[in-house]
Structure 1
C-alpha cells in the first residue's frame, strides 16, 4: 500500500509539474504571438478607436471601393473563435476562410505567406488565448460588380501569389536575413512600397526582383523606394521606425499608423536588422545631385526678403519659422524640405495634402511628444497653395514640376469636413 501511495503521489507531482510547464510554455507563446502581431501590424487594420482591440470595422479605401476589416478576436459568433489552427493559417497565408470564401488582398496574405510555421503557431495561440473576445459586428464589405464576386480571387491568387516559404539570402549576414524575413513576411512592407501591376498585384514579393520595394503609389500619394535609402544612415532608419522622426524627416500619411501600432513596438535588434536589410538591398541612386549653388541662392534670397515671388513670400509667412530659410528644418523636430522625398515626388498630392491638412507625429515610447504642423486649408486658397508648393518643389536643391491649382482643388475635395 505504501508503494502504491508513493507511486500515486509521484504521478500527481509529475502531473502538476507538467501542467505548470505547459502553462509556462503557453504564456511564453502568448507573449511571442503578441509581439509577432505587432510585427504584422494587425492592430492598425483591425482596431477602430472606441472599440475593442482587433474587433474590426476599419474602413480601408481601395481602388475597388471600401473594404471593412473583420473581427479577429476569439469570439465564436462574430470573430475567429471557431477556427482551427490550420484554418487560421489558411486565412492569414492564403486569404481563404473556413467556408471557402476568399479575402481581398487588402489583407496582405501574399506577403504573410512567408510567415514561418513556428511564428504562425505563436500567433494562433495569442489570438485564441491572449486576446479578449468581442461580439462587435463590423460592417460587411459590399463592393460593386464584378469585384463583389469573391470567387474570382481564386484566379487572382493563382496568377499573383506564391506559396514559396521565406528564402534566406545566400551569403548575407544573420542580421540581414532577420531583417529580410520581417520585411518580406510579417512586415508586409512590399504591399505599399512595391509597384503594382495591372491586376493591382505587387510586381515582386522578395529581394530576388529589383522591383521589390522600389516605390509605388497609395491613395494618390507617391510611396518612396526603400532600396538602399542612400540619404539615410542605418541609425536614421532605426530612429524613424522607432519614433516617427529622424534628423531628416517626419512621418506622414499611412506610415504614421505603422509607426504607432507596429514598428515603435519592435525590439532594437529587429529594427537594426530591418535597417541592415534595406541598406543591403542598394540599387537606389540618390534623389539627385545636391546643387550647393542653387541651395545657397534660395537661402540668400529668402534671407534678404527682397524681390520675392508669391510662392517665396507665402513660404516666409507660413513655413519659414519652422523649416527656416535653409529648408533644413530642425533635426529630430521639423523635417527637411530640401531634397525630401515627399517634396520631390512625381505626384505632388502628398505634399499638397500636408500643406492643406497639416500633420502630427505619433507619440511613441522613445518620443512621447506629439509635434504638430497646422493645416492651411482655411488660410490659403487653391492658387496660393499651388504657388507655395511649386516654390518648395523648386527651391534650394529641389527640382520637381510645378503644382497647379486644379491639382490642389482635387486634393482639397478629399479632406474631411471640406
Structure 2
C-alpha cells in the first residue's frame, strides 16, 4: 500500500498541462475593452514573483508558450502554453476560470491539475493580485499558437480523478490573512514566501502522498529542506549549520538579488529562480522576505555543534596531498577556485568552509553540481564569469566521492562522507537523455 501511495504521489507531482487546450471556437473574454496598463504592469511584476516564466518558457522558445520538457520516473512531460491564444493557450479563460485554476487546481473544462503547478501555495494569493495577473496574461503576453504536447505517462498514473480527494485532504483554500501581532514587513514577507513565491514547493519535505508537510510556519517541517529532482533544496530556517542561522539580513537580501553571498552561491533550480524572479523584486519586497525568513526558528539540522572555522587539519592534508586521495583530486581540480583555506573568492567563487550546502546531511546537491555543473547566473543581463563546470566526463564515481568526502570533512565542516554508490546513482539519473 505504501509503495502504491508513493507511486501515486510521484504522479501527482508531475507538471502535466496547467490549462486545458481551449476549443477551436473559444472566445477571448479579456480581449474586449481596453486594458488598464497600470494593472498589466503590476501583473507582470507579480508573474516574476511567481517565477511563471521558469516553467512555462522553453529554452529558445517564446515567452509562456510552454514546451519545456521535464523528465519524470513515469516518462517525459511538456509544460503547457499559457499565452492568451484562444486555440492552444488560455485565451478562452475568464477571470473566474483563471482564478479557479490558479488557486484551486481546476481547469476551465473541470479537470483537476497536478499539484506540481503549485496551486496549494497560489491558493493564498489575494483577489487583487489574481486580477492583476489575469490582466497581464491576457494583455501583457503575446499570444502564441503552439499546441501542447501530450505526455507519455501511462495509465493508471495519468488518471486525474484521485486529485479530487487529494485536494480535499491537502488543499487549504482562502487567501493569506495577516497574522495579528506581526508587523507589515513580516506579513508581506509571509504572503510572498507562502504564496506567489511558493518556496515550500521545493524547500519543504513531502509526505507519502507527495503533499507538503507544512504550508506555513505553524508546521515544524516548513522550509526545513527537501530532496527534489536530484537536488537538496536548502534549509531556510534559522538552523545554524545547514540553514540561515549564520546569515545576516544583508546576506540574505544580497543572495536574493544576486544569487551569491559570502556563504553560498545558487545552483540547480535556484539559478532559474534568481534569474527570472528574485532579482526583479523591489527592495521593499526583498526586505520583507528576509524579515520573514529570518524569523523562522531553527528546524531540521544535523544535530552537530554550531559550526566554527578551523583550517589546520585541512591545511596539513593539502600540504601532503599524496596521503589523501580526496585531497589529491581537490588540489588538481578544485583548489584554484575554492582555495586552500576553503573560503573561495566569494561572492564570485563559492566558499566551501561552512557553506550550508556542504554541511547539509543530504549530499545530493554537492554530487549533482560536481557531476553536472550549474547554469549561469545572469544578473542585470550580465552572466556570471565563473559558473561551476561539470566533472562527469573527467572524474569517476570514486574520485567524486573522495573529493566530496574531503570537502565535507575539511575546515571543520564535520559532515558525513559521500559513497561512490551515491555518486553512481545520481550520475545515472541526471545523465539520462543527455
* TM exceeding 0.5: yes
Instruction: Map residues 173-252 of structure 1 onto 2, 5 A cutoff.
Output: 173-228=183-238, 229-252=244-267
User: For the structure 1 residues 62 and 196, does the alpha-carbon distance in structure 2 shift closer, same or farther, using more than 3 Å as the test?
Assistant: farther
User: For the structure 1 residues 41 and 306, does the alpha-carbon distance in structure 2 shift closer, same or farther, using more than 3 Å as the test?
Assistant: closer
2:431 — aligned with what? 415
1:315 — aligned with what? 330
Alignment partner of 1:269 is 2:246: no
Instruction: Map residues 48-59 of structure 1 onto 2, 5 A cutoff.
Output: 48-59=58-69
Instruction: Map residues 19-168 of structure 1 onto 2, 5 A cutoff.
Output: 26-62=36-72, 65-168=75-178
**SS of the counterpart of 2:128?**
helix
Query: In the alignment, is the contact (CA less than 8 A) between 2:311 and 2:410 conserved in 1?
Result: yes
Report the alpha carbon displacement of residue 99 of structure 1 after superposing the two structures with TM: 0.8
2:314 — aligned with what? 298
Ranges in structure 2 where 5+ consecutive residues have no aligned partner: 1-32, 239-243
Which moves more between the two structures, 273-282 or 291-300? 291-300
User: For the structure 1 residues 47 and 326, does the alpha-carbon distance in structure 2 shift closer, same or farther, using more than 3 Å as the test?
Assistant: same
User: For the structure 1 residues 240 and 151, does the alpha-carbon distance in structure 2 shift closer, same or farther, using more than 3 Å as the test?
Assistant: same
Alignment partner of 1:385 is 2:388: no
User: For the structure 1 residues 366 and 290, does the alpha-carbon distance in structure 2 shift closer, same or farther, using more than 3 Å as the test?
Assistant: farther
User: For the structure 1 residues 231 and 67, does the alpha-carbon distance in structure 2 shift closer, same or farther, using more than 3 Å as the test?
Assistant: farther
Q: Among 344, 364, 377, which residue is 2:379 paired with? A: 364
Query: In the alignment, is the contact (CA less than 8 A) between 1:360 and 1:370 conserved in 2?
Result: no
**Distance in structure 2 (CA, Å) of the matches to 1:95 and 1:179:** 24
Query: In the alignment, is the contact (CA less than 8 A) between 2:221 and 2:299 conserved in 1?
Result: no
2:28 — aligned with what? none
Query: In the alignment, is the contact (CA less than 8 A) between 2:259 and 2:265 conserved in 1?
Result: yes
1:218-275 CA deviation, whole Å, 9 max, x = no partner?
0132222211310211111111111111111111111111111111111111111101
Query: In the alignment, is the contact (CA less than 8 A) between 1:242 and 1:366 conserved in 2?
Result: no
2:241 — aligned with what? none
Which moves more between the two structures, 121-130 or 368-377? 368-377
**Distance in structure 2 (CA, Å) of the matches to 1:167 and 1:284:** 24
**SS of the counterpart of 1:172?**
coil
Query: In the alignment, is the contact (CA less than 8 A) between 2:245 and 2:298 conserved in 1?
Result: no
Query: In the alignment, is the contact (CA less than 8 A) between 2:231 and 2:368 conserved in 1?
Result: no
Equivalenced residues, count: 395
- Normalising by structure 2, we get a TM-score of 0.86
Report the alpha carbon displacement of residue 367 of structure 1 after superposing the two structures with TM: 6.1
1:344 — aligned with what? 359
Query: In the alignment, is the contact (CA less than 8 A) between 2:224 and 2:300 conserved in 1?
Result: no
**SS of the counterpart of 2:431?**
coil
User: For the structure 1 residues 306 and 358, does the alpha-carbon distance in structure 2 shift closer, same or farther, using more than 3 Å as the test?
Assistant: closer
1:174-198 CA deviation, whole Å, 9 max, x = no partner?
1111110001110000101111000
**SS of the counterpart of 1:150?**
coil
Report the alpha carbon displacement of residue 286 of structure 1 after superposing the two structures with TM: 7.1
**Distance in structure 1 (CA, Å) of the matches to 2:375 and 2:341:** 22
**SS of the counterpart of 1:388?**
helix
Report the alpha carbon displacement of residue 210 of structure 1 after superposing the two structures with TM: 1.9
Q: CA RMSD in A?
A: 2.1
1:355 — aligned with what? 370
Ranges in structure 1 where 5+ consecutive residues have no aligned partner: 1-21
**Distance in structure 2 (CA, Å) of the matches to 1:165 and 1:376:** 45
User: For the structure 1 residues 402 and 301, does the alpha-carbon distance in structure 2 shift closer, same or farther, using more than 3 Å as the test?
Assistant: closer
User: For the structure 1 residues 366 and 242, does the alpha-carbon distance in structure 2 shift closer, same or farther, using more than 3 Å as the test?
Assistant: farther
State the structure with more CA Rg: 1
Report the alpha carbon displacement of residue 68 of structure 1 after superposing the two structures with TM: 2.3
**Distance in structure 2 (CA, Å) of the matches to 1:390 and 1:93:** 44
